[in-house]
A and B are shown apart, each in its own frame.
Chain A
Amino acid sequence: MKAPLMISCKKAAVLTEKKLLRSVTRLEALQLSLHRMLCKACRLYGVQSHEIDALLDEYYRDKAPTAPNQADSEALKQQIKEKIKNL
């Protein structure tokens, strides 16, 4: 199957996303860089995506819950056991 090398700006925006998450295929990487060579708006969008990415990295840092602590887990066990008793 021959995929077109020329893509739309809309498609370039999706590929920009894949590139940020390191999920572009070789063909997609080629399509994106070709498109960006010719399209200033999408070059800028690439830069802006990185800027938003950096903001989100900063925003979500330390927000991810880590492994549950033992006390929570024990409390949960007690709660579930109560429910089972009352079934």
Chain B
Amino acid sequence: MPEKRKILTQWVEAYTDELYAWAIRKTSNTALSEDLVQDTFLSAAENWEAYKGASKPKTWLFGILRYKIADYYRDKARKAVDLVPPDEAPAFFDRKGQWLEQEKPQACGSDCIPGLVEEPSWPNLLHHCLQALPPLMAQCLELTYLQGKKGKEVYEALNITAANYWQSMSRARLKLRHCLEKARLAPQTDHL
């Protein structure tokens, strides 16, 4: 139907800027945002009959985009869960929630984290440790730090519960600490 194409093309012209900017704010990822905005318009074309003109086109399109973003994260989180069987995750605490002896924070001299920044290679090291995190944890952490540390916005965007988010953040930091400390103690390549 040529009419449909004509209207959609007008919408692309009118709303892409805002949709794109909003997607970037929500995901902090330019390439992903482009895909999601394109998918939004393709979905709109596919579900053309569902749009009755009851809402403004902009409202409808933002609704689709919001759904696409949530869907993307849901998919990612599900894969993340599949990737980490719970019994394989290294434990930091015992059954009672006390620190395991080998994970217990120790007072330290130059061999712990503050000394790390002195080394020019620290961003590489941190990068390596971030890569080693399970996907959902990495996602929580990355979005949190990219988006001005507003926890609530992040767990809403990721579509997970607050409790799940705080636990993921806590585990992510524990794992990072573990990885960074190991790397500090063994500055050769065996931690990589």
Measuring CB to CB, which residues of chain A are less than 8 angstroms from any residue of chain B?
Answer: 8-11, 13-14, 16-18, 20-21, 23, 41-42, 44-45, 48-49, 51-52, 55-60, 63-65, 67-68, 70, 72-73, 76-77, 79-81, 83-85, 87
Contact = CB atoms under 8 A, between A and B. Distances in A.
A26 B140 CA distance: 24
A48 B113 contact: yes
Interface string B127-165: 100000000000001101111011110000000000000
Given A49-B173, A52-B173, A65 B28 contact: yes
Interface of B: 5, 8-9, 12-13, 16-17, 20-21, 24, 28-30, 33-34, 37-38, 41-42, 45, 92-93, 96-99, 104-107, 112-114, 116-117, 122-123, 126-127, 141-142, 144-147, 149-152, 166-167, 169-170, 173-174, 176-177, 180
By secondary structure, the A interface counts as: helix
By secondary structure, the B interface counts as: helix
Contacts of A67: 21, 24
20 contacts: A8-B98, A13-B173, A16-B170, A17-B173, A20-B149, A21-B144, A41-B99, A41-B104, A49-B173, A52-B177, A60-B146, A65-B28, A65-B30, A68-B24, A72-B20, A73-B16, A76-B20, A81-B9, A84-B12, A84-B41
Contact of B16 (A9, A18, A21, A76): A76
Contact of A57 (B16, B24, B98, B145): B145
A9 B99 contact: yes
Nearest to B91: A10
Contact of B166 (A17, A59, A60, A80): A17
A18 B174 CA distance: 14
A55 B97 contact: no
Contacts of B144: 21
B20 A59 contact: no
A20 B170 CA distance: 11
A74 to B, nearest CB: 9
B39 to A, nearest CB: 10
